[in-house]
Chains A and B, each alone.
Chain A
Amino acid sequence: MGTLVAFLRTCTSIWLKGNRYYWAWIIFLSALIVSGMAAYAYQVMHGLIVTNMRDQVSWGFYIGNFTFLVGVAAAAVMLVIPAYVYQWEPIKEVLLLGEMLAISALVMCMLFVAVDIGRPDRMLHLFPLLGKPNFPQSLLSWDVLVLSLYFSLNLVIVTYLLYTGFTGRHYNAKILIPLVLISIPSAISIHTVTAFLYNGVVARPYWNASILAPRFLASAFCSGPAILIILFQILRKVAGLRIKNEALAKIAELMAYAMFINLFLFGAEMFKEFYSHTEHVIYSQVLLFGVGGTKVHVFMWPALIASITAFFLFLVPRTRNNFYTMNLGCLLIWFGVYTEKGMGLVIPGLTPDTLGEIYVYAPSLTEYRIAAGIFSIGFLVFTLLVKIAMPIMNMRETNLPGKSAAQK
């Protein structure tokens, strides 16, 4: 118990210590969080009418962000596989950072679902025992289940690693390895279930394509590692994380393969739609060309070009070993996958609606503010987690009062 208190006290003292940039970052995120909370209060007061969603397009920006972030959460942990296979030097660090990214992404996922539902006061109805979940019929019930399990699993692993690191003991492999081994298939399952959530909707031909789940996994394997590559470099610079250039280049190479599969599957889907040219082609036309004033294609083309460019940047050894082009590739991938998996998935799925009506959806200011607030909460959680992980990951800030206190 005493150790736990000391652990928490140390965490607090670590969070309160930081340079100018750290505080500027925290204040920036806090400002966005406050703005998001104000916007959410406004939404709660007036109802979802303050969004631009309507009966015709009944899901929008919130659910798009949710889908994208499930991918980030899944892929962050899947990175453990190559880290193990290729024997990257700091495998524990890759695991820890991946798990922490997963936690932050899942916090955002849950918040995005929470702000989207009409009756947040009835949230408990979703859970077994308290409510009446529709098992095994509803994929949304499954999603609640696997997301909760995955979240708990990551939370346990991260807490355990941080705590053992703090007390200076070595982690017990008999506890850790089974947990990690469970978390990898769970990572795949959360994304598959989320894909099936769309996939199983027969009313929306654009989603009702069996290629959706493989596409989800492929694109997730691009977006999750993209943020980790950038983070590894930052931590290497500011905190001396010992990760080799070769490891970063290897991640980039794997992302190139994932992106190739993603683009290939996308191409296969588009071929089927445009070549057979049935009445279902209209959703793909919304995605790529716009129909009746829809705007998704305006973002989709730059996103496609970004994804293709990133693919080549990561494929060619010279550009993936160069830090400028590698980081550029990461940013391009984020933009590409975010557009494709977010609005590029939700909006053409719902436009035109099932009776052929085209309602042009674009998020309202309230939706943007709430989304920015949720992203800020996620980044804040991630920042705070990384900050307490830094001393444990044998980096520069090793001599902390907490460590000696725990050893006494």
Chain B
Amino acid sequence: MKKENSNRRLSRRTFLRNSMQSAAAVAAGLCLPGVLAGCDTKVVEAFLQKHFLELSPSELNKVLRGLEKENLKKYGTSTVVSAKPAMPGVLFGYGLDLSRCIGCRRCVHACVKENNQSRDPAIQWIRVLEFPKEKGIDFSEANPYYCASGAGQLSDEQRDILAKPESQYPLYQQKETAQGADCKVPRPDHFYVPISCQQCENPPCVKVCPVNATWKEPDGIVVIDYNWCIGCRYCMAACPYGARHFNWAEPKLPAQDVNPDMHYLGNRPRYRGVVEKCTYCIQRTRNGRYPACVEICPVGARKFGNLLDPKSEIRSIMERKRVLILKNDLATKPKFYYFYGL
């Protein structure tokens, strides 16, 4: 209902947009070499696509089927791209038990697998920071480059990719080797704080976006329309948690690694030049499943649930445990609660 109302309100703009479309089509048709890679109709269609929240149900359906076709062509796998809306009466919240986390980084890799992140350059939505125990959470003491043995350990190939100057961790090599050879985690006298999008109630990234390409959904998840983002990266400057990542190069996702279960606002493959971030595995959680990081965690440090449900695990944690949020002085009101379970 709400969507239709806003559609009507926007009709004048939509009209103007449509009348501009012929002109835009000519512009796109000119196809300056390299500016619009490839000159097929899909490029023009993508160029003219409306903002996600302004798509009518039939237009949305067309866009989703178009994306599936594109995926089939690109990866040779049939995929399902859903746009399932938020469930009523749901506000997602996340709990992370700092006394249990061992810093193994299994969550990091499960997240990459689930969410179709670019493998090279490597993009990771979860960053695990290692802190010396006597310093507490002091970011100037944080080490994101510690090495971890065991299941979360990197293969040599993964390590090489991470260590490339164009990866998300340009300093990987330098910092990791500086730490010494023993990669057993948890290291004595250290503790670990995994950080991904905190799904703020008051998200500074949404406030600054000049084109409304990112917004907070009714279930509290902050999402991005990858077809609307202009790649100005103002949101990355504004995010206090380093949760937003930019596709500096063409994202590379090997066909055999594609997760075919996709959501338009979540894990569908991204484009070069747009920003991406954690969506609490929107493709899973809106279907009643746990995020991939919750499922993989070997020590049960990760909890997830509906904050509006008084009987949910996340609510009982908030009521019984010592809970903290990161950078609470900024009043971003994260829905990502760190707690001490032991």
With both beta carbons as reference points, the residue of chain A lying nearest to B331 in the complex is identified as A202
Interchain CA distance A247-B210 in the complex, whole Å: 42
List residues 6-52 of chain B with CB under 8 A from any CB of chain A: 13, 16-17, 20, 24, 34-36, 47, 51
Given known A-B contacts A134-B211, A138-B210, A353-B242, A125 and B234 have beta carbons under 8 A apart: no
A133 touches B211 (CB 8 A): yes
Interface residues on B, range: 35 or more
With both beta carbons as reference points, the residue of chain B lying nearest to A44 in the complex is identified as B34
- Is the C-beta of B213 less than 8 angstroms from some C-beta in chain A? yes
**Set B138, B204, B245: member contacting A203, Cβ < 8 A:** B204
- Is the C-beta of A350 less than 8 angstroms from some C-beta in chain B? yes
List residues 149-195 of chain B with CB under 8 A from any CB of chain A: 166, 168, 170-171, 195
- Is the C-beta of B220 less than 8 angstroms from some C-beta in chain A? no
Name the B residues within 8 Å of A141 (CB-CB).
210-211
A201 touches B211 (CB 8 A): no
Nearest CB of chain A from residue B242's CB, rounded to whole Å: 5
A132 touches B212 (CB 8 A): yes
Interchain CA distance A132-B129 in the complex, whole Å: 37
B129 touches A355 (CB 8 A): yes
Given known A-B contacts A118-B247, A125-B230, A356-B142, A47 and B242 have beta carbons under 8 A apart: no
Name the B residues within 8 Å of A357 (CB-CB).
142, 144, 171, 242
Name the B residues within 8 Å of A132 (CB-CB).
51, 54, 211-212, 228
**Set B51, B210, B233, B249: member contacting A47, Cβ < 8 A:** B249
**Set B47, B234, B247: member contacting A138, Cβ < 8 A:** B234
With both beta carbons as reference points, the residue of chain A lying nearest to B205 in the complex is identified as A203
- Is the C-beta of B112 less than 8 angstroms from some C-beta in chain A? no
- Is the C-beta of A123 less than 8 angstroms from some C-beta in chain B? yes
Interchain CA distance A56-B127 in the complex, whole Å: 12
B228 touches A279 (CB 8 A): no
The interface of chain A, by Cβ under 8 A from chain B, is 41, 44-49, 51, 53-56, 58-59, 113, 116-126, 129-134, 137-141, 144, 197, 200-204, 279, 282, 349-350, 352-357, 359
With both beta carbons as reference points, the residue of chain B lying nearest to A120 in the complex is identified as B35
Q: Which 10 A-B pairs have the closest CB atoms?
A: A118-B231, A118-B273, A356-B139, A140-B210, A203-B240, A49-B249, A49-B248, A125-B211, A58-B236, A58-B233
Interchain CA distance A347-B231 in the complex, whole Å: 19
Nearest CB of chain A from residue B36's CB, rounded to whole Å: 6
A134 touches B16 (CB 8 A): no
A129 touches B237 (CB 8 A): no
Nearest CB of chain A from residue B47's CB, rounded to whole Å: 6
Name the B residues within 8 Å of A116 (CB-CB).
232-233
With both beta carbons as reference points, the residue of chain A lying nearest to B208 in the complex is identified as A138
B273 touches A47 (CB 8 A): yes
**Set B166, B208, B249, B332: member contacting A140, Cβ < 8 A:** B208
- Is the C-beta of B272 less than 8 angstroms from some C-beta in chain A? yes
Task: Supply 9 further A-B pairs (C-beta < 8 A) apart from A118-B233, A134-B210, A140-B208.
Answer: A55-B244, A58-B236, A129-B17, A132-B54, A134-B211, A138-B208, A140-B232, A279-B139, A349-B237
Name the A residues within 8 Å of B35 (CB-CB).
44, 120-121
Given known A-B contacts A118-B230, A355-B242, A356-B142, A55 and B236 have beta carbons under 8 A apart: yes
**Set B24, B242, B271, B275: member contacting A354, Cβ < 8 A:** B242
B144 touches A59 (CB 8 A): no
Interchain CA distance A350-B234 in the complex, whole Å: 12
B211 touches A131 (CB 8 A): yes
Name the A residues within 8 Å of B4 (CB-CB).
none
A124 touches B242 (CB 8 A): no
- Is the C-beta of B107 less than 8 angstroms from some C-beta in chain A? no
Nearest CB of chain A from residue B95's CB, rounded to whole Å: 20
- Is the C-beta of B342 less than 8 angstroms from some C-beta in chain A? no
Most chain B beta-carbon neighbours within 10 Å: one of A125, A130, A138, A200: A138
Given known A-B contacts A138-B207, A355-B139, A118 and B274 have beta carbons under 8 A apart: yes
Interchain CA distance A184-B226 in the complex, whole Å: 39
Can you name 11 A-B residue pairings with CB atoms under 8 Å? A118-B233, A119-B271, A123-B230, A124-B24, A132-B212, A133-B210, A134-B208, A134-B209, A138-B209, A349-B237, A356-B129
Interchain CA distance A306-B139 in the complex, whole Å: 35
B129 touches A203 (CB 8 A): no
**Set A44, A118, A125, A202: member contacting B204, Cβ < 8 A:** A202
Name the B residues within 8 Å of A282 (CB-CB).
140
- Is the C-beta of B269 less than 8 angstroms from some C-beta in chain A? no
B36 touches A121 (CB 8 A): yes
**Set A41, A55, A353: member contacting B245, Cβ < 8 A:** A55
Most chain B beta-carbon neighbours within 10 Å: one of A49, A126, A282, A352: A49
A201 touches B237 (CB 8 A): yes
Name the A residues within 8 Å of B228 (CB-CB).
122, 125, 132
A203 touches B248 (CB 8 A): no
- Is the C-beta of B266 less than 8 angstroms from some C-beta in chain A? no
Given known A-B contacts A47-B272, A355-B142, A356-B140, A55 and B208 have beta carbons under 8 A apart: no
B17 touches A130 (CB 8 A): yes
Name the A residues within 8 Å of B140 (CB-CB).
279, 282, 352, 356
Nearest CB of chain A from residue B100's CB, rounded to whole Å: 21
**Set B36, B141, B237: member contacting A58, Cβ < 8 A:** B237
Name the A residues within 8 Å of B330 (CB-CB).
202-203
**Set B16, B240, B274: member contacting A129, Cβ < 8 A:** B16
Interchain CA distance A117-B236 in the complex, whole Å: 13
Nearest CB of chain A from residue B80's CB, rounded to whole Å: 26
Given known A-B contacts A125-B213, A140-B208, A355-B144, A202 and B233 have beta carbons under 8 A apart: no
Name the A residues within 8 Å of B244 (CB-CB).
55
